[in-house]
Amino acid sequence: MSNSVPSINDREFNQFKSWIYKRAGINLTPAKKSLVAGRLYKRLKHYDIPSYGDYFKMIMDEGNKNELQWALDLLTTNETYFYREPNHFDFLVKHIIPTVSASGQFRIWSAASSSGEEAYTIAMMLMEKMGDGNWSVFGSDISEQILSHARRAQFPLVKARNLPEMLLRKYCLKGVGNKEGFLMVQSALRSKVDFKNINLIERIPNVGLFDVIFLRNVMIYFDTATKQKVMQNLLPHLKPGGYFIISHSESLNGVCDALKLVSPSIYQKS
């Protein structure tokens, strides 16, 4: 095999497109062909498999559930970083946290948490304003592999390039030696964050009720029907009066009428 990434033909691409839509609700457009080829090529190379079609046949084999999960992880993992879209965290600090009852439990769900940067950023905001109180952050993702990274809580320093210096110094440990260039989220913060493998287009397990749900930078990969299904699955887990936060590049127009817009990309349940 050449060191260059071979192209994926239309038939092979459509096989993966159909599978990932059924499995994760992600609608891959033809513009994603090179991305699919680039992410899967490392597995072709690993097994010395000559084509994407042969690899697809291999992962569909009943005995290859681990490799099936690996392919799913490769095609569903998206880049994230600390303090992404800071307006949402400002709203959380200024408008949501001040209304929290001191006697009740306060829970936030990072519903597409990827490697955990969003969940840990939320936890920093809560620790700053509520101390080590009765609050918790729950993170979920479809990729078990990426969740293992989230639980480990070690990140390249570049992932924290937008994080205010004060928060970086207060809640993160700087790596030294062979960990130079990395950070680790401190244990007191990690203890307030839990992660679970959840597929949002399938029946949601009993995770309880939340005051705030973050679902950012994932709906852009869904068609309208899938967005509606995801919202139907998530909304029963949002408390009345709770907030639902999506990315600034996303919209719930024509998707959900059970929420009212209270600020750009921030909704509230009646």
Q: Catalytic site residues?
A: 39, 141
34: Cβ–Cβ under 8 A, 6 or more apart, which residues?
Answer: 5, 7
- CB-based contact 192:136 (threshold 8 Å): yes
**How many Å apart are CA 252 and CA 216, to the nearest integer?**
12
Name the CA radius of gyration of the chain, rounded: 20
Query: How is residue 93 annotated by DSSP?
Result: I
**How many Å apart are CA 251 and CA 264, to the nearest integer?**
9
| Burial letters 211-231, b for 16+ CB under 10 A, else e | bbbbbbbbbebbeeebbebbb
The tokens describing 201, both together, are: 């287009």
Of residues 180, 164, 111, the one with CA closest to residue 140: 111
**What number of other Cβ atoms are within 10 A of residue 258's Cβ?**
13
- What's the CA angle centered on 167, arms 136 and 180, to 5 degrees? 105
> Would strands 154-156 and 210-214 be described as parallel, antiparallel, or unpaired?
unpaired
The tokens describing 203, both together, are: 């029946």
